[in-house]
Amino acid sequence: MYANPDAQKELNKCSLPENSSHFRSPSSALGIGKVISVSGPESGADDDVAFESAFGAIESRISCSEETLGVMEESQKQLIELIGRNEEKRLAIQGLWSQIEGLKKENRALLERNSKLMERQMRTTGSVNRTQSSSRPRSTGKSWEKENLLFVWAAQGFLFPSGLELLKCGENCCTGAVPPLVSTKSAIINACNHSTQRCSSLSRNMQSPSLTWAWRGILIVSVTLFQMCCSRELDANFSLQDRILRLPGQPQVSFQQFSGYITVDELKGRALFYYFAEAEFDPSTKPLVLWLNGGPGCSSVGVGAFSENGPFRPKGEVLVTNEYSWNKEANMLYLETPAGVGFSYSRDSSFYEGVNDRMTARDNLIFLQRWFTRFPHYKSRDLYIAGESYAGHYVPQLAKLMVEFNNKEKIFNLKGIALGNPVLEFSTDFNSRAEFFWSHGLISDSTYKIFTSACNYSRYVGEYYRGSLSPVCQRVMSQVTRETSRFVDKYDVTLDVCISSVLAQSAVLSPHQVTEHVDVCVEDETVSYLNRKDVQDSLHAHLSGVTKWTVCSSVLDYEVLNLEIPTINVVGSIVKAGIPVLVYSGDQDSVIPLTGSRTLVQKLAKEIGLKTTVPYRVWFEGEQVGGWTQVYGDILSFATIRGASHEAPFSQPERSLVLFRAFLQGRPLPETFT
């Protein structure tokens, strides 16, 4: 029931006879149009009387409905005041209210456009003469919205045979303003039922043979508008099921978070898990960024969201705020891909055998299409895709599919891609390790010589994964490993290793290791947090086919030799399609060193005929050098982040945020102290 007991009395005063069963089919706007117009156009002396009668009935229902909605809104305010001391519920209500107000604003714009359409239709049909038009106040603004709301209510008899479906849409469309709360659902159902009964009766009257074609047209267009409204509302309610009220140990925040599953293959039962943090300020004006970590097979939630550029980082039993979170600049969407990574799963475990880049790109595309169905208000936003490491394969391949899809039906508003320390071309990227080790003093001159002549790194990795490791490569790599030491973090050669996890660190830093990991100290915190039952419940996550959540998949058998497939040419096709590309490198990473990435970007610019528009120069973060940058054709950019590791946002968060902000805004990196 309502917080205000007068609500039910008001609803009862407005109720009409309940017999509306025959008014529940057909179930589409087209079908409704056929039912209403089946008798063809009518004319006669009764037209004016029918018009005035129908219009008067509408106005009386509007007045009654206004009273009901007013009482319900007042009840909602009282309810908010009653639970205002409960911070968690208050934030939940505020979030719902904000989302509904945004949808109402969109609906008002649609209603005004619809008003103009209907006025043109009335003039065309001539069913309303000039005298009637001049004696009747023009329906615009709020009055038009009220009239249209009654037609929308009338259409509910056709579209919603069940109370549950009525509730899903009625929470916003029917009641007009009241945010859905568990404690008021029964009252909302009552309100919607009363509204449906009133308007069903009204609409039966409007099926009179003497009803003019203009009013039939109005009802048809109104029902179409209703379908548009409620498709958004159903999707919005579905997204609300994914809303995170609060993560365990989380500090107070002003932005909304969502997480859950999107099914990408119903037949095989394959679903991908996502975590979505809306922008901290003005999310409705900020772009959408899809973030992908690499591996292949490592978690964008565990690495990206909770260790790098997300809003929080685990620390013991709690989460601490990341003051350089990328959701300060964008709405951040993190995807665990492919199935088998993190909380993502496949009911058919045979999928995990031989997953490749093509399969991953296809599932990622399906995910995004269906995610937009759940969050339709983000579909028109500027979209960026960013990622690091093996995402040098994931991101360009997904972007390429989007471009191809847009050539047939434009649904992706792709504005750019950003690649951090990416694998773009196997030989160039991996063989640049020798020079990095040598220039940083990690190997001797003699070892550098044999590492670049007798057996380079790309040859070693290729032989290792094919199970055909030659004696010479075995000998060279043993010498490299001995000199570099297993206990120097190859992802950041300046970083001290985590003493408490020496054995785990040793495993991570094995010479054939090509998958992505963060510092083990940080990784331990993330693994511990995401394996808590209360955390998984808050995330709407569950484990499937595994006993614990891991940073990188223990069940996925990825086609590692996809490493040898170059994607720099795919990046070129993205640039040719007019989409800006940023390649950036943490300059302390020896796994994918900056020298290889810089060489590949320079080569690509030359191949596609891009001239240098910003010569190689320093850029600044505050009063310090943030790194170096070069731009080609104002569309292809390369930048380094000084002092950063393989996971640049983890080790240099402030400089990474400066770079990210400049990329989204399409501005050059700062040339002077700021």
Tell me, what DSSP letter sits at residue 252? P
Helix (H) or strand (E) holding 289: strand 288-292
**Into how many domains does the chain fold?**
1
Helix (H) or strand (E) holding 106: helix 87-125
**Number of residues in the chain:** 674
Catalytic residues: 389, 589, 646
Which range scores top for mean pLDDT: 129-143, 208-222, 364-378?
364-378
* Phi and psi angles of residue 314, each rounded to the nearest 5 degrees, phi first: -65, 140
CA 132 to chain centre: 50
Under 8 Å between Cβ of 564 and 276: no
The answer to the question of residue 583 being in a domain is no
Are β-strands 353-355 and 557-558 bridged in parallel, bridged antiparallel, or unpaired? parallel
The answer to whether the pTM exceeds 0.75 is: no
328: Cβ contacts below 8 Å, ≥ 6 apart: 279, 280, 281, 657
Q: Between 132 and 56, name the one with better pLDDT.
A: 56
Tell me, what DSSP letter sits at residue 305? I
Mean pLDDT of 293-319: 95
What secondary structure does DSSP assign to 385-402, as a single string? EEEETTHHHHHHHHHHHH
Q: Is residue 2 helix, strand or coil?
A: coil
The answer to the question of residue 211 being in a domain is yes
The answer to the question of residue 558 being in a domain is no
Least confident window among 90-94, 298-302, 355-359, 556-560: 90-94
Mean pLDDT of 195-219: 44
Under 8 Å between Cβ of 584 and 412: no
| 607/602 Cα distance (integer angstroms) | 9
In the chain, what are the helix, strand and coil shares in percent, each to the nearest 5? 55, 15, 35
Mean pLDDT of 504-514: 45
- How many CB atoms neighbour CB 164 within 10 A? 9
Indicate the angle between helix axes 594-607 and 426-439, nearest 10 degrees.
140
- Domain residues for the domain of 155 are 51-241
| 600/183 Cα distance (integer angstroms) | 59
Which range scores top for mean pLDDT: 71-75, 441-445, 503-507?
441-445
Q: Between 573 and 493, name the one with better pLDDT.
A: 573
| 558/356 Cα distance (integer angstroms) | 6
Q: What angle do CA 455, 458, 459 make, to 5 degrees?
A: 45
30: Cβ contacts below 8 Å, ≥ 6 apart: none
The answer to the question of residue 456 being in a domain is no
**Alpha-carbon distances, residue 602 vs 385, 539, 595, 597, 621 (angstroms):** 22, 42, 11, 9, 25
499: Cβ contacts below 8 Å, ≥ 6 apart: none
CA dihedral in degrees (242, 246, 250, 251; nearest 10)?
120
SS in 3 state form for 650-671? HHCHHHHHHHHHHHHHCCCCCC
**Assigned token pair, 624:** 């310090």
The answer to the question of residue 191 being in a domain is yes
| Terminal Cα distance for the chain, rounded | 57
Q: Between 460 and 45, name the one with better pLDDT.
A: 460
* Phi and psi angles of residue 34, each rounded to the nearest 5 degrees, phi first: -65, -40
Question: Within 13 Å and on the Cβ side, how many CA atoms surround 354?
Answer: 1
The answer to the question of residue 71 being in a domain is yes
Question: pLDDT tens digits for 84-106?
Answer: 545 555 555 555 555 555 555 55
93: Cβ contacts below 8 Å, ≥ 6 apart: 80, 83, 179, 181
408: Cβ contacts below 8 Å, ≥ 6 apart: none
Mean pLDDT of 101-120: 57
Least confident window among 25-29, 117-121, 477-481: 25-29
- How many CB atoms neighbour CB 411 within 10 A? 13
**406, pLDDT greater than 50:** yes
Query: What residue has token string 């508008």?
Result: 225
The answer to the question of residue 112 being in a domain is yes
Under 8 Å between Cβ of 443 and 483: yes
The answer to the question of residue 12 being in a domain is no
| 44/586 Cα distance (integer angstroms) | 80
Query: What residue has token string 């290889």?
Result: 596
Q: What is the pLDDT of residue 96?
A: 55
CA 425 to chain centre: 29
Mean pLDDT of 158-168: 34
Instruction: Considering only CA atoms, give the Rg of the chain.
Output: 30
Burial profile 88-111: b = 16 or more Cβ within 10 angstroms, e = fewer: ebebbbebbeebbeebeeebeeeb
Q: Is residue 627 helix, strand or coil?
A: strand
